[in-house]
Structure 1
Amino acid sequence: MTSHRIFTTRFASVYPLYIAKAEKKGRTSAEVDQIIGWLTGYSQAELAAQVASQADFQRFFAQAPRPNPARATITGKVCGVRIEDLDDPLMREIRYLDKLIDELAKGRPMEKILRH
């Protein structure tokens, strides 16, 4: 998938996949929402509005009310690429979220996922 296609992909189309991935491993949609809230600052109502509006990833992250400064501590590989090596800021934000959902699905405790 090219970068352009990822950026124009609707967050609402990927959000259920995040939930399905978590639930398949015994985690909950509430935990997915907690992760998204931690990363972006979206409240539950604001997140629901973003999903309902069919926002693409670019708009979803651009409108994030309070991006968590601790997100810069998220490191590692997603799809074989080191997050910290990504030059494109939007791609980095997307991969931060992917990494956190991966950690959730792997059973990592929430306090570690949320970098407490």
Structure 2
Amino acid sequence: MPRHRIFATAFAKVYPMYVQKAERKNRTKEEVDQVIRWLTGYDQAGLQRQIAQEKDLETFFAEAPAMNPNSSLIKGVVCGVRVEEVDDPLMQKIRYLDKLVDELAKGRKMEKILRQQD
């Protein structure tokens, strides 16, 4: 199966789109960063390094310090796809991030976006 071209896309290319989407809905870059850090385990310096070094999405997720164990609680549809049903593990991580930014832009409260085990 051919690799999806999104995997080779620089995280630095999609990151500004996430920020713009959030800012259009009166959310902040800081909130976008918080969501990304929650999902991937990067600290702010590590996140900035990934952007500055223009790592592709595959590398960005491969080098993530620790995917949040609660990321499996992310459910729902993004781009017409149920995130919990995505087979490819890398594509699923990308969709998780899309979904979190989506929820941020839709005005969900941060404590709801950053899933916690009950």
Structure 2 length-normalised TM: 0.94
Mapping of residues 82-93 of structure 1, within 5 Å: 82-93=82-93
- Give the Cα separation in 2 of the matches to 1:3 and 1:77: 22
Q: CA deviation at 1:7?
A: 0.5
The residue type paired with residue 50 of structure 1 is Q
RMSD: 1.1
Gaps of 5+ in 1: none
Structure 2: distance between partners of 1:47 and 1:6: 19
Q: For 1:18-57, list aligned pairs within 5 A.
A: 18-57=18-57
How far has the Cα of 1:66 moved from its partner?
A: 1.4
* Runs of 4+, deviation exceeding 6 Å: none
* Cα distance in structure 1, aligned partners of 2:81 and 2:33: 25
Q: CA deviation at 1:37?
A: 0.4
How many residue pairs end up in the alignment?
Answer: 115
Separation in 1 of the partners of 2:66 and 2:81?
26
* Counterpart Cα distance in 2 of 1:104 and 1:4: 26
3-state SS of paired residue (2:4): helix
Q: Report the TM-score, using the length of structure 1 for normalisation.
A: 0.96
Instruction: State the Cα distance separating 1:84 from its structure 2 match.
Output: 1.2
Aligned-pair CA distance for 1:115: 1.2
